[in-house]
Structure 1
Amino acid sequence: MADASRNAYACGSVAVLGTGFALPGAPVDNHALFERVRPLAPGLTERSVIATARRLAIETRHVSRAFRARAEAPLAGARNPELAAQAVRLALDEAGIEPGELGYLIGHTATPAQPLPPNIALVADELDYTGPHVELRQACTGFANALLIAFGMLTRPEARPVAIVGSETGSLFLDPACAALDRDQRVNLMQMGDGAAAIVLAPLRLGTPRVRAAWFGAIGLHRPPGLEMRAGGSDHPALAASPLAFAHDYRRIAQTGTALFDAGAAAAARQGVTLDAVDWIVPHQTSGRIGVQLAAHFDVPPGKVFVNADRVGNTGSAAIWLALAQMRARGLVSGSRVLALGAEATKHMHGGFLYEHG
C-alpha cells in the first residue's frame, strides 16, 4: 500500500463557477471508424477491430482527424488549442465572466499542437486572454496538480478566478497502418477519444458548488512506465525523426491499476472522505468496463460509478473534467457528493478531489 502521508493535499475549499466541454464532430461508432481507417491499414480486419472495442466496451468516440492519410493535420476547428478554448468559453459563459477577468489559466495535455510554444499559450490566443498561464504535461492526472496550484492561488477572498482545461487530440498521434500488426496500436485506435473540458474556480462563497479534499500522489518510483512516447525526446536523438506514437504496456498497466485506485481511496480517507459517504465515484475513464471493475474491487454498487468512456472513449487529460461537466449538465441533486479517483499509467500517478454540488 502506498504511503498516503507522502501525497500533496490541498487545504480548504474553492467555489466552482462553471464547467464546459468540447468534442470534435459527431460521435464515430466502431464500424464507421473501421471503414475510415481500412484504406490506410492493409490487413486490418473488422473482426479484430470490433473484438478489441468489445473488450473495452467502447461504442463511440470523437476524433479530430478525417483519416484520409497515415499522418495528417486536424480538421478545421478540431486542433487541441481550439477545443480547449471552446471548453473554457463554455465554462466562462456558465460562470458569467469574461476571459479578461481570470487571474490565471492552467492547461494540461499529453498531445499538444506543438512542443513549443506551450499549448496553453495557443489557447490564450484563441481566447484573447492576456493574463498569466501555465501548462502541465502529466496526462490523466494533470487535473490534480492543476487543482493544487489553483487552491494556492485562491486562498485570498479577493483573488481572481482560475480556469483549468484538460485537452487531448490523441488520434493525431496514431499511424493507422500499424494497427493491423501491432495490438497496442489497435487498442489505441479503439480506446482513445479526442476532446477538452474545463472548470472555472474562485474563492469559496456561500451557496455555490465547491471542490475540496484534492490531492496528488505517485507510486511509480523506479517502476517502468506503462505508457510512454519516446520519439522526439532529447534522450532519444536517434528516434527524433520517427513518427510519434504512444506505446502501451497493458500488462503493466493492469498490474498497477488497482494499486492506484487503492492509493486514491486511501488519500481520500486521509481527508475524511470514504467511498460509502459519497453519491458518485468518477474513476479515470480507461474503458467502458471501468465501472463494473471498480465497483467489484471496492464492493460498491455499479450504479454509483459514473462512466462515459463507452460513449467518448478514454479522453486522457480531459477525462475527469469531462465526466464532471457532463454530470453537472445532465443535472445533479443538490447536496450530491462526487469523488474523483484519477489514475495515470505513465509513471503510476494518482489524484482526486471531492466535488459537492450546491
Structure 2
Amino acid sequence: MKRTRSIVRGIGSYLPKRVLTNHDLAKFVDTSHEWIVQRTGIEERHIVEDGETTSMLGIKAAQAALDDAGLKPEDIDLIICATSTPDYTFPSTATQIQTGLGITHGAAFDLQAVCTGFVYGVATADKFLASGSHKRALVIGAETFSKLLDWNDRTTCVLFGDGAGAIVLEAVEGEGTSADRGVLTSHLRSDGRYRDKLYVDGGPGSTKTTGVLKMEGKEVFRFAVGMVTDVIRDAFTATGTTAEDLAWFVPHQANRRIITASADKLGIAPEKVVITVDRHGNTSAASIPLALDVARKDGRIKDGDLVMIEAIGGGFTWGSALIRW
C-alpha cells in the first residue's frame, strides 16, 4: 500500500568558531586531557562567544541544509527546533530562525526533549508531512549548552559543547515498504521518574533563574546502555530489518563508552557506528544532525543507505528513528 514518506532532501550544520580543547580546560579546571579522553572520548568542543545565541547557530545550519537541498526558504512550511537552550523563554527559537531565514508563512515551534530532541523533532515532522498538512519541514537541533554549565564542576563542564544541525524533510509518495526512501519508523519513550539523574536546577516557573546542569553520571550511563535499546529493537521489528541491514548507526554523541557499549549490545558492527563526540563533545539535540552532516559530507552516508538514529536525554526521554537516505 502506497504511503507518504518524509525523505531527507538536504542537511547542514554549523559550529561556533571558538574551539575549547581538553588542554584549555585543564588550565582552569582540576582535570586533564587524559582523564577526559579515558572517560568520555572527548578531545575538544566548540563554544559560542558572548552575544552568540542558539538561533544564530540554527539559522546558519538551516541555511546550509536549504542550500544542500537546492531549495529556497519560501519552500519551507514547517520549522521545528529542538533545543533546551532557547534564546528567550518566549518567543520560540524556531520563530527566530524562521524570521532569520525570511520566512513569513507556515508554522514554527520549539520542541524540548533535551538530548533526544532531534529524534523527537524528526518523528513529529514526519507525522505532519505524512498527514498531508505540510509539504516541507526544517528540523533543527541547536544548542548553546555552555551557558548552562557550572565551569567549576569538572564532572559536567568537560562534557558539553555548542552547535547546530538541520535537515530538510519533504513529503513524497512511497510504496509503503522498508525499501522506500525516508523515515520508515520512529519510536519515542519517556519516564519522568528519573528527573534528578540529569536536569537543570532552575527555571522561570520554579526558581526564576536559568540554573546550571546537574548530572549523576554513573546512573545516566547505566540507563543509557541498559534500557534504551528497546526503541531500536522496536524499529527493527516494525520494519522487518536487523542490525545487519544497517549501513550506519548514528547515536546521540554523549560519551564514546556509551556509544560503543550500546552498539555492542545491539550487535551493530563497530565500523557502522558514526562517532563525532571526540570533536564536538555532547551538543545535546544538535549532536545527531551534526554527526549526520559529517558522515554525509565525507561520503559515508550515501543515497539508499539505511540509517538508524537514537538518543537518550534528561527526563529521561529516549527514542529512535530509522531512515532510508
Calculate the TM-score normalised by the size of structure 2.
0.88
Match of 2:277 among 309, 316, 326: 309
Deviations along 1:147-194, whole A, 9 cap, x unmatched?
232222223679431111010101122232xx2xxxxx3132211110
Q: Which residue of 2 aligns with 1:6?
A: none
Per-residue deviation at 1:205? 5.6
Match of 2:141 among 166, 174, 182: 166
Per-residue deviation at 1:12? 5.2
Q: Distance in 1 between matches of 2:143 and 2:136?
A: 24
Q: Indicate whether 1:340 and 2:309 are aligned.
A: yes
Q: Which residue of 2 aligns with 1:186?
A: 154
Match of 1:299 among 261, 267, 287: 267
Q: Which residue of 1 aligns with 2:201?
A: 230
Q: Distance in 1 between matches of 2:141 and 2:111?
A: 9
Q: Distance in 2 between matches of 1:318 and 1:324?
A: 10
Counterpart of 2:304 in 1: which secondary structure?
coil
Amino acid aligned to 2:10:
G
Q: Distance in 2 between matches of 1:82 and 1:45?
A: 32
Match of 1:353 among 298, 321, 325: 321
Amino acid aligned to 1:123:
I
Specify every segment of 5 or more residues in structure 2 that has no aligned partner in the other structure, as ranges. none
Distance of aligned partners of 1:291 and 1:251 in 2 relative to their CA distance in 1, 3 Å threshold: closer
Q: Distance in 1 between matches of 2:131 and 2:192?
A: 35
Question: Retained in 2: the 8 A contact 1:268–1:274?
Answer: no
Per-residue deviation at 1:285? 0.9
Q: Which residue of 1 aligns with 2:61?
A: 87
Distance of aligned partners of 1:61 and 1:223 in 2 relative to their CA distance in 1, 3 Å threshold: closer
Q: Which residue of 2 aligns with 1:109?
A: 83
Amino acid aligned to 1:113:
D
Counterpart of 2:130 in 1: which secondary structure?
coil
Match of 1:266 among 233, 242, 255: 233
Count residues with an aligned counterpart.
316
Distance of aligned partners of 1:32 and 1:230 in 2 relative to their CA distance in 1, 3 Å threshold: closer
Question: Retained in 1: the 8 A contact 2:78–2:134?
Answer: no
Percent identity reads 26
Per-residue deviation at 1:212? 1.8
Counterpart of 2:88 in 1: which secondary structure?
coil
Q: Which residue of 2 aligns with 1:276?
A: 244
Larger radius of gyration: 1
Match of 2:12 among 8, 13, 20: 20
Q: Indicate whether 1:118 and 2:118 are aligned.
A: no
Distance of aligned partners of 1:254 and 1:61 in 2 relative to their CA distance in 1, 3 Å threshold: same
Question: Retained in 2: the 8 A contact 1:283–1:342?
Answer: yes
Per-residue deviation at 1:26? 4.6
Counterpart of 2:212 in 1: which secondary structure?
coil
Counterpart of 1:228 in 2: which secondary structure?
strand
**Which of 303-312 and 197-206 deviates more?**
197-206
Equivalent runs, 1:211-250 vs 2, <5 Å: 211-218=183-190, 220-234=191-205, 236=206, 239-241=207-209, 244-250=211-217
Distance of aligned partners of 1:223 and 1:170 in 2 relative to their CA distance in 1, 3 Å threshold: closer
Per-residue deviation at 1:224? 3.9
Per-residue deviation at 1:50? 4.6
Per-residue deviation at 1:46? 4.5
Calculate the TM-score normalised by the size of structure 1.
0.81
Higher percent of residues as strand: 2
**Which of 102-111 and 199-208 deviates more?**
199-208
Counterpart of 2:47 in 1: which secondary structure?
coil
Per-residue deviation at 1:295? 3.1
Distance of aligned partners of 1:157 and 1:225 in 2 relative to their CA distance in 1, 3 Å threshold: same
